[in-house]
Amino acid sequence: MGRIEYWLLGAVGALIIFIAVESAKSSLQPRRYALQVQQSGHPRDVDQSVSASMSDTSSAAEATPAPASVDVHSAVLRSRAPVPLRNVAEIRRRITDGASRTYILDLLASQDSVLFRWPDSQVRVWIQPDPHVRDWWIGYVESARDVFLEWQTAGIPLRFTFPTDSTGADIVLRWIEQFPANEMRIGLTRRRADQNAWVTHAEVIVALHDNDGDTFPPGEISEILRHEIGHALGLGHARNRGTIMYPENTQLDLTETDKETLHLLYTLPPGKVK
């Protein structure tokens, strides 16, 4: 065998080893799943051209969907909630003061400079108790209740009750087996908001399995719940990987930054900031 043949064999061998090593590395890296929120509703002054072209509707299903790459879609959903008292200069000052210890600026950037939040009130939360989903565990219901109460420790003016009937519930939490194989997603929240950016309803959907059909352990289910319930309460995504509202599953627990952001949000009136 000549020198060229030995050289070719060596090159092929090196290529095979490189491919094997890279394959092994990729199999060890955890896959990241998107945790998303869909938003129905914008205050009237967010985008007059969009608002004017949409008829009033009371259902998120009736809203025009956004492109697949966008996890927010909008429609004007009117309600009789009170018009919030707003001093835009004061709102901006308080946002500036709180920016260093929160991700309120990320929230505004992802929501067209609009703050969405619930009115100060009691919020009725219905958690699906028997979804007939593979690997379902009744303990997930208690886990979801605990997560709502965790968020409540941020000092927000909401009180959660947990009726056994979904009729009239403000937030509905459902469980599914898994999202479609072409969606790297493990949770989804749909929010509705009215003409003043008061949140009026939310639906949270949590998958119990990943795209390969593997079951998430209870700790990861709690992580998904923390993120999606944060969306249901009005939070958007954060760019800080160390927070629960980062758009991938990288953080298990609520952080002080998460709580500070929600607390700041609930000291401000909803609506357009600029």
3-state secondary structure (DSSP) of residue 58 = coil
pLDDT at 6: 54
Q: Are residues 111 and 6 in the same domain?
A: no
Least confident range of 75-84, 114-123, 187-196: 75-84
**Same domain (yes/no): 219, 253:** yes
Question: What is the widest separation between alpha-carbon atoms in the chain?
Answer: 88
| Predicted local distance difference test score (pLDDT) of residue 264 | 98
Q: What is the pLDDT of residues 184-201, one digit of tens each?
A: 888 999 999 999 999 999
23/103 same-domain check = no
237 contacts 245 by C-beta, under 8 angstroms: yes
Kindly state whether residues 16 and 150 are assigned to the same domain: no
23/110 same-domain check: no
Do 68 and 151 belong to one domain? yes
109 and 4 within one domain: no
Q: Does the structure show a pLDDT above 50 at 70?
A: no
* 45 and 10 in a common domain: no
Six token digits for residue 15: 């290529």
Least confident of 61-70, 248-257, 263-272: 61-70
Q: Which domain holds residue 128?
A: 33-272
Q: Band of the pLDDT at 56, cuts 50, 70, 90?
A: very low
Percentage of residues in the chain having pLDDT higher than 90 = 61
CA distance 80 to 143: 33
Compute the average pLDDT of residues 127-143.
Answer: 94
pLDDT above 80 for 233? yes
The model carries a pTM of 0.76
Burial of residue 61 (number of CB atoms within 10 Å: 0-12, 13-18, 19+): exposed
Neighbours of 89 (CB within 10 A): 8
Say yes or no to pLDDT of 226 above 90.
yes
- What is the average pLDDT across 69-73? 37
**58 pLDDT more than 60:** no
Q: What is the model's pLDDT at position 269? A: 96
For residue 69, give the CATH number of its domain. 3.40.390.10
Instruction: Select the more confidently predicted residue: 22 or 216.
Output: 216
Query: Do 207 and 235 have their domain in common?
Result: yes
Is residue 11 domain-shared with residue 80, that is, in the same domain?
no
Kindly tell me if the per-residue pLDDT of 250 is higher than 80: no
Name the domain count of the chain. Answer: 2
CA distance 185 to 32: 9
Residue 203's alpha-carbon distances to 46, 128, 163, in angstroms, are 23, 11, 15
On whether both 16 and 132 belong to a single domain, the answer is no
- Do 136 and 7 share a domain, yes or no? no
